[in-house]
Amino acid sequence: MRVVLISANLELRPSPVYPVALGRLAGALQAAGHEVCQADRLVDGLDAVVASAAAAQPGLMVVSLRNVDDTDERRGSSYIAGYAELIAALRAVSAAPIVVGGAGFSLFPERILAACGADIGVVGPGEDTICALAANPAAIGPGIMRLGQPYTGPLVTAATWAMPSHHEPRLLRHYWQHSGMIGVQSKRGCPRRCSYCTYPQIDGRRAASAQLDDVVDELARLEADHGVRYVFFVDSVFNLNRSHELALAAAIRARGLHISWGAFFAPRGIDRAYLAALQAAGLRHVEFGTDSVCDAILQRLGKGFSVADVQQASADCHALGLACAHYLVFGSPGETAATATESVQRASELPGSVFFPFSSLRIYPGTPLYDQALADRQISAGQDLLQPHYYHSPALPRDELLAILDAWPGRPQRWLDSRRTSSLGPLLAQLRKRGAVGPLWDYALR
């Protein structure tokens, strides 16, 4: 069967994000004997995407929905209307069934399937499910949702998985040129229990590692065939399986690759020797989902690490010369003026780090934060959370929180909030033109 794969994402902030899922789905479909065409609304525009879908005369059209909104309370942009527009336009030129899936879809599958007007939804990892639908569009089973039919739940994540990605050179070239990095996934699923996080709903709680040879082969192809010099591992948390990660580092070195990379890490479960081994294999940027530098708030958020872990991990990165960033969230359950001030002060003491601060948390169904928001009467039972709603600690008025953040001693150099990152857009564009690669936030440290 001929299958058209389409990335529906239009978001450009902080930089265009390469649609990793399209390459993986294309690789799986081609391995199963299907013909694949890839298109991207951000790169091609709506009219060109629809025209290419019509010309392909597909038996199945698959639309990947990366996010439902921008999770920015200040802007509050929802993407659902744009997705519905795309699907309606595809419907007008082809009678082929339309499948929607992706991380964003998996959070609100029933609502989005109805709102977008697609025929079939895929919840969770999609490679096996899309192949099953390409073989038989009427297939039912785990991971497949149809309006008006019973849903049996997502696929169970296997302990390991293959990733025979097939990158569309035209699309990959665009993202490499405009974002200076390409996403690669070495594992999926997350056993951690952060109170607000949706990764376990998307990929399951079991961490499943990709086969090492597949990951290294992918890196080698990106470097040799496409000139990619930097990748970002899009795993929910990179350091979930120490032996696998060290084996991956060893395999990268053994293959003689020169590609640089970054990833998200948790501050616990790493040490200087571990980081040094990864650094020898190309690690350059370490991003921590720290959230708070106050033990009381870390415990409320279910982070599974302490301030001492954050301090040690930051010190290790600094000692090795690794660029280090911390994502911080203020106003979460239990936050007070005292805890916010403590977090700001301790963050300012972390060496060689930049910070991405957020002053609220997006509430998603099925998370402990959802239950807390119900208890605090910030949302009501049955409320439609496809429309974004954000949690604010009842014990810390928003204007008082913003005053604490504005007084942070590290501003403005190391404090990259949404206002500053927006203002840096022209500078980052110039750096890209000069050949700068990677996330570029480390320029705040120079």
E strands within 205-341? 208-210, 230-233, 260-265, 283-291, 323-329
What is the separation of C-alpha 89 from the centre of its chain, rounded to a whole number of angstroms? 27
Per-residue confidence (pLDDT) for residue 266, from 0 to 100? 97
Per-residue confidence (pLDDT) for residue 65, from 0 to 100? 96
Per-residue confidence (pLDDT) for residue 114, from 0 to 100? 92
Question: Do 427 and 337 form a contact (C-beta atoms < 8 A)?
Answer: no
- State which H helix or E strand residue 87 sits in: helix 80-93
pLDDT average per 10 residues of sequence, the chain (446 residues): 96 87 94 96 97 97 95 84 97 97 92 94 91 93 83 63 84 94 93 93 86 94 96 96 96 98 96 98 98 98 98 98 96 97 94 92 95 96 93 94 81 73 73 88 79
CA-CA-CA-CA torsion sign (146, 147, 148, 153): positive
- State which H helix or E strand residue 211 sits in: none
Pairing relationship of beta strands 2-7 and 35-40 according to DSSP bridges: parallel
Per-residue confidence (pLDDT) for residue 410, from 0 to 100? 57
Instruction: Decide: helix, strand or coil at residue 121.
Output: strand
For 346-367, what is each residue's pLDDT tens digit? 999 999 899 999 999 999 999 9
Give burial (CB, 10 Å; 0-12/13-18/19+) of 386: middle
Alpha helices in 94-231 (DSSP H): 103-107, 109-116, 127-135, 169-179, 199-203, 212-226
Integer Rg of the chain from CA? 22
How far is the C-alpha of 379 from the C-alpha of 386, rounded, in Å? 13
Per-residue confidence (pLDDT) for residue 411, from 0 to 100? 58
Per-residue confidence (pLDDT) for residue 305, from 0 to 100? 98
Question: Do 324 and 293 form a contact (C-beta atoms < 8 A)?
Answer: no
pTM of the model: 0.94
Per-residue confidence (pLDDT) for residue 147, from 0 to 100? 81
